[in-house]
Structure 1
């Protein structure tokens, strides 16, 4: 396959509707094609304090390696080849064990004696980067304790363009700023624990349908292409990954889909151009599992590690492995490119301290048995593979706190909440109780039986236990002397009517579910078919509310659900969105229902109608070659679309009620003299060119070597494998002299000037209620141009304030925060339009406003009434 080309140039990509249904064989030429970005930049730690020592060590060790040893580091050994979901080859001569790569972004997939943490959507709902760090650190410690070297998380792709997206729950909310802060915090936490974090999925991987051609129920020849214009790519989808790179992330996973008709893992513009050149990423890029579609092309485009190694699971065929050895020998892949791959991998290895404190692998992904085959598919090397080391520590306390603080109160009429030892409560809905098959009874959580506490797919973990809401409520009722009854059959409406009439508080638990595309549940192939509730949820609510004047609804779901059928029912007194809370689900919801913990805020918009989002997930392909998904919404994702089109949501982005009452007083903006900003000048490092001195004869399988069945090795079968007419890429891909660093580049995360502080914003906040509380103070900026969103999030703080106390909350505004991507200069610029800063409680409740164009500006207070727990439903602007 020819080297791929990715387009991110031009103001926007305009698509003719006539092309959408075209079926011609040459269909790829009708859609966006990418300019190349070559040569692949050489990684470096020069001038980067947190990377410099790691690079010195990496360069020294790689200099001692043979071609086969370097190839071994870059190539997975094959699916089920060893104990982890991904394993690289080893370098035993230098004492380097192969890397163990393991899902997931919320715990250890297939783990035993390990925790099931709240999902990404729930940590995002806390709006607390400190908790995001602690969650990342706890997960990193558990992975390290199992011998995992690379945790396959955290997630910022999908970002949540489509509310039905199957894997939205793995990520950090539908705003690039919010997602980026969470991504960076998780990266720091995981890597401080001594494990390499892997930020994923890079990039624009916004739906499960057609992400892999072979997985689709409707046959297509190639995977879906996400077609994204240059400005949107930078300001929306790349933005969180820039934060991860700046935070020092060791690895990034390229995605299954095509982007502008180039597969993500052979996308020279996205990997070489944006990630490694513009963002200055020093770590390594790995493929998603079977997302590699070529050999030489992917190496030249910037891929550094192929996972799981085989082209198709347990096929024994690989694009790399021995084929990469051949490509280096015949010159198709320069030796300096292989050196760079290995160096980037080892630099990340040293950066997190894996050379100093590394645990032997003591988990098995393919069985819960203690004894089994180390080479699982080949059935070879029998012994202890599950050490059953308990790595949970005291993490249950953190899990409970995150899940509670990530629960959002959407409605609270009168004194419905918090509950205060009610005389009798009744609980309704299967989401309140246990899966009869057990918490891990559905492989990879691929069902919606019982309470929903995580989505399905590779982003899951085994539950060590799962506290259902009913169990926790029973424990609380017993302690309080409360009578508790329940009906958890979603279709026993007659019994619900009878039970509901007896209770002083009726607690209804409803759900929706989603996950990865390789699993289909009730016709939902990863992506949800719609935004309605599952398991007869609407009817359960209506039935209970018709018979109980204090009906409190809790929703467990991977994202927004439509609520218009029941939200305004006068007997629905309170509504909570509880996300996907993990193993402490029941305990965490009790903490919120009884007022023991301050709740969170929405990381997405809940619309009145699904069509209000202005986007359509593709369920049917628009051609049989490669479905074309045009991101026509551009910058207007989620709340930005609602604001721009003056659409009233049911609950806006950032919304959530509090236990107490808040008053925003004053806003003062102080300008900081940060100096000027200019395009970065320089070049990526030149490659150290050396001749390949090893001969084909030296790279043939060693005599008498035992080959494990279907295992991927770096050696060649015979010297005849080294053909002289090997595949070659474009001439510029072989230039060892580097390339100009892009104007927006110059350091990890981009041009250092982007992170200069330009303004300081000081706001005054009072807790005027009767109890201590926590407020999420949110800062939004208006860029002032007609083609900009109305406002974008550019700051938030979760602060604790005692009753009667007044505090000052200080934000800093960076140059990046008020810049826009200029497609002509390929750099960030600040337009001359007047800019304003808004501070408040949500994207539509912003009482404080000030201009950003003066030296020192005192803003105005629009004197809106405070949103409080007792104020009931909030008032829109």
Structure 2
């Protein structure tokens, strides 16, 4: 019997085909479609390498010729083969470029298809509540609006090539080491206003699947939490796609199916014999199984039946020159210049010899080594990028943290010094315990890797290297590689320039050379707040059994507390200067229409990221001082002015009334802010009454 999806069939025809499959499939076959299969065997075959094969992750019935979902992870690229490795998600968050993010999504969709996958886990949007979170590099930043816009762009790009995108991890997954046990306590208003709106934005944009989180919410694991998976996701939001668990330990009981989980990944530990027995005993209604299969199959068939943008998805598209060019563009746009007292840009005539120092300058360092790891065909290091740009004779490796005095002696003879410091997968990343098999043993020796940071600054030997070289060479530039904020108080006053490049991907070194020599101006903006002190941050315990999440973190917390950060959310310097004027705001039927003009007052062409914030009356209920409600990247040549227009939806101004279980708009004066960062000094203001 041929029940394969056919190109060009209508939604009604898909519905009929899915209904026929559910009618013909046995209970055992339907339950088999509700889990992944073969993961542990694949892990053994690959010697422990994650994503060496496409993972079968739901769907599939051989007797009825029903296809399956084949999963590949992200979000730095496709975690299969030798794919294009983009800058980490946090770096791309710093780019604030939704068009670029959509194009990156398209590359991921193309490369997934070319390598046998039709299901992508690249859209990670858990909110950065605290910089110590080990998996921070996999998300875009601390602000829900920003997360939603960037994640929606990535999902749209991936799905353009008929690859199902899943948004993860739903929800409240912002602590890594304790993620398998921690119970996050949260009130309904904070949940909906702070930790969920970006998920809704991405699902409203069409993202077809949701991955549940490992942690608990208010006493119940997210993978079997009816409030999350049914009441909110389906009831309040109207989501009609499917929900699957995270890999291993993502679900603990068969009743998760009745709570709204459709697929257990990667193996049927609970959605196998246990679920079958629960249905046969009457503990779970057969309709629960049919509903889950309908969601899975409808999504799968809708994507499989749609026309493809490309004639074919051949393997030569993977890491092609066009795709590597987009990775290069992302590395250029994501670097954030935090300080520059005349050291940058370097001039090729004045700077004839560059000394490069630091262990991280000479190693391939693209991020953590967990599920998001990408294996690109090459990685351009900082040292290699500068040599490629200037020639070998004009670049010298001075040394590393092992002997800072020797490195400084070499740097002293150079015209400029570049010190590369920060973190690697040893210091931060996805926490993977040695045995991740749950009830099934993996016969591959493993050791725990990754996890939350226990230090928000640099290591003592890196600080010593910076200080020693800065004392020897007055034109010392520090490059910081990290997935989230780094405290710099101990050394930043010793150097004239600092740039954070995050984990910049396979083209990072080449992009760095262009940025340092002014071929391209740095244009990234911080997607998080860098505090002056760790004491300014919310409570964080990476080994906690339980924790309470409140409504304030990041820039909203510091503004509420009246604390000045070291670097504000949205901050980043340029080789140009920009001026703002003519901020206007008017009420429309759908919300507020905002326009503002920005001019390049500098001497070089550069990009600026224009940011719109809204402040609230705050009389009826406590609200943040202001919240991001729009951003756009604009390219300007010297002297050029652009007028940008934003539409702030009325719904984005509402607050959640938990007692009434509804969203309310507070009447009164709202303040519109426009400028180059969240700092008061960088913003124009205009009041409007709603």
Q: TM-score, normalised by structure 2?
A: 0.90
2:199 to 217, 235, 241: 241
How far residue 491 of structure 1 moved from its aligned partner, in angstroms, is 1.7
In structure 1, what is the Cα distance between the partners aligned to 2:196 and 2:17? 30
> What's the counterpart of residue 451 of structure 2?
526
In structure 2, what is the Cα distance between the partners aligned to 1:51 and 1:261? 39
How far residue 392 of structure 1 moved from its aligned partner, in angstroms, is 2.1
In structure 1, what is the Cα distance between the partners aligned to 2:142 and 2:601? 31
Confirm or deny: 8 A CA contact 1:433 1:488 kept in the other structure: no
1:406–1:332 Cα change, 3 Å: same
Are 1:851 and 2:684 matched, yes or no? no
In structure 2, what is the Cα distance between the partners aligned to 1:543 and 1:589? 23
Larger radius of gyration: 1
Confirm or deny: 8 A CA contact 1:839 1:847 kept in the other structure: yes
Are 1:618 and 2:558 matched, yes or no? no
> What's the counterpart of residue 549 of structure 1?
474
1:611–1:74 Cα change, 3 Å: same
Are 1:77 and 2:37 matched, yes or no? yes
How far residue 508 of structure 1 moved from its aligned partner, in angstroms, is 0.6
Select the structure that is richer in helix.
2
2:25 to 65, 89, 94: 65
How far residue 358 of structure 1 moved from its aligned partner, in angstroms, is 13
1:179–1:107 Cα change, 3 Å: same
1:567–1:519 Cα change, 3 Å: farther
1:461–1:611 Cα change, 3 Å: same
> What's the counterpart of residue 319 of structure 1?
270
How far residue 151 of structure 1 moved from its aligned partner, in angstroms, is 0.8
How far residue 825 of structure 1 moved from its aligned partner, in angstroms, is 1.4
2:360 to 427, 431, 437: 431
In structure 2, what is the Cα distance between the partners aligned to 1:140 and 1:290? 25
1:91–1:193 Cα change, 3 Å: same
> What's the counterpart of residue 133 of structure 1?
102
> What's the counterpart of residue 582 of structure 2?
666
> What's the counterpart of residue 815 of structure 1?
650
Are 1:798 and 2:633 matched, yes or no? yes
Confirm or deny: 8 A CA contact 2:431 2:448 kept in the other structure: no
Which structure is richer in relative contact order (CA contacts within 8 A, separation 6 or more)?
A: 1
How far residue 524 of structure 1 moved from its aligned partner, in angstroms, is 8.1
> What's the counterpart of residue 267 of structure 2?
309
> What do the CA deviations read for 1:746-802 (whole angstroms, capped 9, x no partner)?
xxxxxxxxxxx2111111111122222211000001012162111110000001122
1:420–1:828 Cα change, 3 Å: farther
SS in 2 for 1:536: helix
How far residue 601 of structure 1 moved from its aligned partner, in angstroms, is 0.5
In structure 2, what is the Cα distance between the partners aligned to 1:53 and 1:119? 40
1:292–1:553 Cα change, 3 Å: closer
1:561 to 486, 490, 493: 486
1:53–1:199 Cα change, 3 Å: farther
In structure 2, what is the Cα distance between the partners aligned to 1:358 and 1:146? 17
SS in 2 for 1:485: strand
SS in 1 for 2:493: coil
> What's the counterpart of residue 637 of structure 1?
553
Are 1:503 and 2:414 matched, yes or no? yes
> What's the counterpart of residue 470 of structure 1?
383
How far residue 813 of structure 1 moved from its aligned partner, in angstroms, is 0.9
1:820–1:547 Cα change, 3 Å: same
How far residue 389 of structure 1 moved from its aligned partner, in angstroms, is 6.5
Select the structure that is richer in strand.
2
In structure 2, what is the Cα distance between the partners aligned to 1:172 and 1:259? 22
Are 1:838 and 2:641 matched, yes or no? no
How far residue 354 of structure 1 moved from its aligned partner, in angstroms, is 5.6
How far residue 522 of structure 1 moved from its aligned partner, in angstroms, is 12
> What do the CA deviations read for 1:789-846 (whole angstroms, capped 9, x no partner)?
1111000000112221112100001012211111111111111242111000001144
1:607–1:796 Cα change, 3 Å: same
Q: TM-score, normalised by structure 1?
A: 0.71
1:154–1:59 Cα change, 3 Å: same
How far residue 610 of structure 1 moved from its aligned partner, in angstroms, is 1.4
> What do the CA deviations read for 1:826-868 (whole angstroms, capped 9, x no partner)?
11111124211100000114432111216xxxxxxxxxxxxxx
Unaligned runs of 5+ in 1: 1-49, 213-222, 311-317, 363-386, 440-451, 622-626, 675-756, 855-877
In structure 2, what is the Cα distance between the partners aligned to 1:91 and 1:462? 32
SS in 1 for 2:123: coil
> What's the counterpart of residue 573 of structure 1?
496
In structure 2, what is the Cα distance between the partners aligned to 1:808 and 1:498? 50
Unaligned runs of 5+ in 2: 1-9, 43-52, 435-445
1:560–1:81 Cα change, 3 Å: same
In structure 2, what is the Cα distance between the partners aligned to 1:340 and 1:546? 67
1:528–1:63 Cα change, 3 Å: same
How far residue 178 of structure 1 moved from its aligned partner, in angstroms, is 0.5
In structure 2, what is the Cα distance between the partners aligned to 1:532 and 1:354? 51
How far residue 97 of structure 1 moved from its aligned partner, in angstroms, is 2.9
1:124 to 93, 102, 105: 93
How far residue 205 of structure 1 moved from its aligned partner, in angstroms, is 0.9
* 1:642-791 to 2 correspondences below 5 Å: 642-672=558-588, 674=589, 757-785=590-618, 787-791=622-626
How far residue 294 of structure 1 moved from its aligned partner, in angstroms, is 3.7
1:396 to 313, 316, 324: 324
> What's the counterpart of residue 330 of structure 1?
281
* 1:210-609 to 2 correspondences below 5 Å: 210-212=178-180, 223-310=181-268, 318-353=269-304, 391-393=318-320, 394-421=322-349, 422-434=351-363, 439=364, 452-478=365-391, 483-513=394-424, 514-518=428-432, 526-534=451-459, 536-569=461-494, 572-598=495-521, 599-609=523-533
Confirm or deny: 8 A CA contact 2:578 2:599 kept in the other structure: yes
In structure 1, what is the Cα distance between the partners aligned to 2:72 and 2:223? 19
In structure 2, what is the Cα distance between the partners aligned to 1:413 and 1:815? 42
In structure 2, what is the Cα distance between the partners aligned to 1:351 and 1:455? 34
In structure 2, what is the Cα distance between the partners aligned to 1:73 and 1:196? 16
How far residue 418 of structure 1 moved from its aligned partner, in angstroms, is 4.5
Confirm or deny: 8 A CA contact 1:114 1:390 kept in the other structure: no
Confirm or deny: 8 A CA contact 2:36 2:55 kept in the other structure: no
1:414–1:161 Cα change, 3 Å: same
In structure 2, what is the Cα distance between the partners aligned to 1:108 and 1:811? 33
In structure 2, what is the Cα distance between the partners aligned to 1:454 and 1:53? 44
Confirm or deny: 8 A CA contact 1:644 1:789 kept in the other structure: yes
In structure 2, what is the Cα distance between the partners aligned to 1:820 and 1:51? 36
> What do the CA deviations read for 1:83-126 (whole angstroms, capped 9, x no partner)?
434433621233223321121222232x2232222111011010
In structure 2, what is the Cα distance between the partners aligned to 1:655 and 1:253? 32
